């Protein structure tokens, strides 16, 4: 793996945001408003990007993000203080000051929120997260999958209401409590939990910001040279093209602070109809009514006209799209993880199907 860049500056931010949109697997498109906010906050002062191995074991790592339905974020402009507030509250609760900022997930908005927090707190950013992509639930983090406590956890809404979950018996209970509070907050909450540098080394997913920067730079470069963006992503990320076609219908609804729904696509080649199911992120691709690709593979949708990744909130009738599958991360393929992040963990009555590995559970 290439060494992490030393800093994230204004120029790198666009690459980071584009790569994070791909790794969101539908959890969000290019996070434009958050990107603009981060550009303004960084100014001429780049943020140090730290390699995980540079952490001292006793460093206090503040893990930040946003929980809830991506659609709700589109209803207002970015307020950096909303994202920073949980860090300050957790510091007061613990009686300690954070040493470094880490993102809970690299996907889309949650890939840029830690940059905003790092700029606002003048702390370095860690080249790691706890998902390696986007997932919709807190019990799907690498920490939760390893059985590591997810608390104390601070949640804050835009009105400065705050809740501290001081203890929860496991990741699933953390998710259930978090989801209830987030729904009450209006389906969006900024969050922060803390852990040590030693815990991040054992349970974090390292190098995810470097991956997003590399992926985003490749896409922007392909766009500038008028190359085929999808072909570039397939080659660089060992991806597989599932289908190309036109979006002919989209159904979505917000329930329990999730965006759930389905998009139907008419293939360009006249083949059988394609269905794309999602819960915040894309979870299943069916072709001719049969699952062809499921979580934990990364299912990404690209607008073939603009060559940009599309989140579930951006799907519209008439778009020309390409559906791409990227391989699942090893951490998500264990039997224990598959029970949580496989299709049955999302309530589907079938096992994992992957064009990369065949079917397994």
Q: Percentage of the chain with pLDDT > 90?
A: 89
Q: What is the DSSP letter of 196?
A: E
Residue 355 has pLDDT above 90, yes or no: yes
Residue 169 has pLDDT above 50, yes or no: yes
CA distance 113 to 100: 14
Domains of the chain: 7-208 (3.40.1610.10), 228-360 (2.40.390.10)
CA distance 316 to 306: 14
CA angle, 266 then 270 then 272, to 5°: 65
Residue 102 has pLDDT above 90, yes or no: yes
Q: Which residue in 144, 69, 134, 80 sits closest to 106, CA to CA?
A: 134
Q: Predicted confidence band at 58 (pLDDT cuts at 50, 70, 90)?
A: very high
Residue that is written with structure tokens 């300050």 in the block: 88
Q: What is the DSSP letter of 270?
A: -
Q: Predicted confidence band at 297 (pLDDT cuts at 50, 70, 90)?
A: very high
Q: Which residue in 206, 196, 143 sits closest to 174, CA to CA?
A: 143
pLDDT tens per residue across span 247-272: 999 998 877 667 789 999 999 999 99
CA distance 22 to 154: 28
3-state secondary structure 208-253: HHHHHHHHHHHHHHHHHCCCCHHHHHHHHCCCEEEEEEEEEEEEEE
Q: Which residue in 43, 28, 26 sits closest to 73, CA to CA?
A: 28
Where helices occur in 96-207 by DSSP H, the ranges are 108-121, 142-145, 171-185, 197-203
What confidence score (pLDDT) does residue 174 get? 96
pLDDT tens per residue across span 305-338: 999 999 998 999 999 999 999 999 999 999 999 9
Residue 246, strand partner residues: 266, 320
Q: Predicted confidence band at 69 (pLDDT cuts at 50, 70, 90)?
A: confident
């Amino acid at each position: 793996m290439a060494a992490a860049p030393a800093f994230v500056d204004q120029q790198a931010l666009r690459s980071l945001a584009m790569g994070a949109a791909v790794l969101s697997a539908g959890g969000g498109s290019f996070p434009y408003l958050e990107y603009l906010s981060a550009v303004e906050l960084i100014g001429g002062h780049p943020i140090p990007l730290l390699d995980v191995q540079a952490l001292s074991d006793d460093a206090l790592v503040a893990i930040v993000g946003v929980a809830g339905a991506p659609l709700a974020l589109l209803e207002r402009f970015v307020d950096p203080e909303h994202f920073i507030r949980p860090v300050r509250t957790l510091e007061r609760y613990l009686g300690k000051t954070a040493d470094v900022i880490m993102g809970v997930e690299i996907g889309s908005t949650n890939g840029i929120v830690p940059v905003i927090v790092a700029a606002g707190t003048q702390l370095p950013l860690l080249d790691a997260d706890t998902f390696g992509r986007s997932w919709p639930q807190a019990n799907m983090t690498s920490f939760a999958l390893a059985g590591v406590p997810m608390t104390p956890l601070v949640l804050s809404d835009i009105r400065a209401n705050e809740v501290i979950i001081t203890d929860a018996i496991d990741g699933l209970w953390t998710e259930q409590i978090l989801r209830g509070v987030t729904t009450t907050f209006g389906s969006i909450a900024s969050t922060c939990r803390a852990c040590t540098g030693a815990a991040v080394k054992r349970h974090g997913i390292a190098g995810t910001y470097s991956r997003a920067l590399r992926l985003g730079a490749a896409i922007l470069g392909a766009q500038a040279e008028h190359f085929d963006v999808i072909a570039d992503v397939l080659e660089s990320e060992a991806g597989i093209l599932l289908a190309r076609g036109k979006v002919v219908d989209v159904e979505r609804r917000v329930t329990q602070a999730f965006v759930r729904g389905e998009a139907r696509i008419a293939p360009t080649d006249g083949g059988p109809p394609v269905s794309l199911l999602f819960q915040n992120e894309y979870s299943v691709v069916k072709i001719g009514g049969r699952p062809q690709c499921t979580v934990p593979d990364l299912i990404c949708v690209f607008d073939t006209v603009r060559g940009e990744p599309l989140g579930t909130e951006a799907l519209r009738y008439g778009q020309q799209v390409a559906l791409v599958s990227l391989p699942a991360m090893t951490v998500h393929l264990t039997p224990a993880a598959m029970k949580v992040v496989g299709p049955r963990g999302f309530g589907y009555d079938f096992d994992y199907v992957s064009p990369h590995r065949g079917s397994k559970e």
